[in-house]
Amino acid sequence: MTAPYRLGVLALIALTLAACQRPSTDDAAFGARVRAYLLAHPEVLQEVSQKLDAKLADQAASRQRQAESLLPRLRSSVERDPLDFVANPKGVVTVTEFYDYRCPHCVSVAPKVIALIRAHPDVRVVFKETPIFGATSEHAARAALAVARSGGDSLGLYQALMSARGLDDATIDRLARAEGAKPADLTPEAAKAADAHLAKTSALFAQLDLEGTPAFIVGDQIILGEDMDAVIAAVAKARVESSPSGPKAG
């Protein structure tokens, strides 16, 4: 149980005990009673923690089901925005990734994303620039869009930025220029155009209730975090469903 949950559990127990007694001005005595009760019945903490975890899991699953129910009508925004970079554009199965270059989990999963692209040319991967870690992340996202506009090596920049340590604006610009960004695409005017696209992606991210990065979408399934095994399984399922013969009977 994490510290915030533990504090919440203690507060809940304290409120429960308080409801059974007269209000007291002796806080020390009240605290001693709570402490004595918890020491005598430590299983209460485990029981409350388990119920809280189950409730939070149910809430998260409900939110995800609600978000996934929106995917059919948001398909074009998720998979076909012309300003997003797409690897393997002729692929028959689409994987969309929302990510931030300064997100440690995005950095960790990036080599697996690249491996998926290279090993499976039938998998079309859409890159959604989703800067959630502040100004440097926003600068990196703008630089990536600049490389895409210039027709440069967007996948090369993705790999370079995910591999870099201690990203700053100067490093980002240097890497972007190395991967084909043109000076005109790194101007303040170009940044304003990029910001409009980033705002649209951010709104989509919020609409789908994606609370963090990385987040993957395959078909009508949302996969949160670094779970590439789940992504690959979803790709395999979508590949079967997209085949001319459709799903095979089990």
How does pLDDT run across 28-76, given as a tens digit for each residue? 787 788 888 878 888 877 887 787 777 766 666 667 677 789 999 999 9
Let me know whether 198 and 96 are in one domain: yes
CATH code, 197: 3.40.30.10
Let me know whether 212 and 233 are in one domain: yes
Across the range 100-126, mean pLDDT stands at 97
Looking at the structure of the chain, the number of domains it has is 2
126 in a structural domain: yes
Q: What is the pLDDT of residue 97?
A: 98
How does pLDDT run across 175-232, given as a tens digit for each residue? 999 999 988 887 888 888 899 999 999 999 999 999 899 999 999 999 999 999 999 9
Is the predicted pLDDT of residue 15 greater than 70, yes or no? no
Model confidence band, residue 250 (pLDDT cutoffs 50, 70, 90) = very low
Is the predicted pLDDT of residue 245 greater than 60, yes or no? yes
Across the range 148-163, mean pLDDT stands at 97
250 in a structural domain: no
Let me know whether 61 and 79 are in one domain: no
**Of 31, 51, 67, at which residue does a domain stop?**
67
**Pick the residue with more confidence: 33 or 119?**
119
Q: What is the pLDDT of residue 249?
A: 43
221 in a structural domain: yes
* Domain span including residue 94: 72-242
How does pLDDT run across 124-135, given as a tens digit for each residue? 999 999 999 999
249 in a structural domain: no
One-character DSSP codes across the chain:
--HHHHHHHHHHHHHHHHHTS---S-HHHHHHHHHHHHHH-THHHHHHHHHHHHHHHHHHHHHHHHHHHHHHHHHHHHH--TTSEEESTT-SEEEEEEE-TT-HHHHHHHHHHHHHHHH-TTEEEEEEE---S-HHHHHHHHHHHHHHHHT--HHHHHHHHHH-SS--HHHHHHHHHHTT--GGGGSHHHHHHHHHHHHHHHHHHHHTT--SS-EEEETTEEEETT-HHHHHHHHHHHHHHHSTT-SPP-
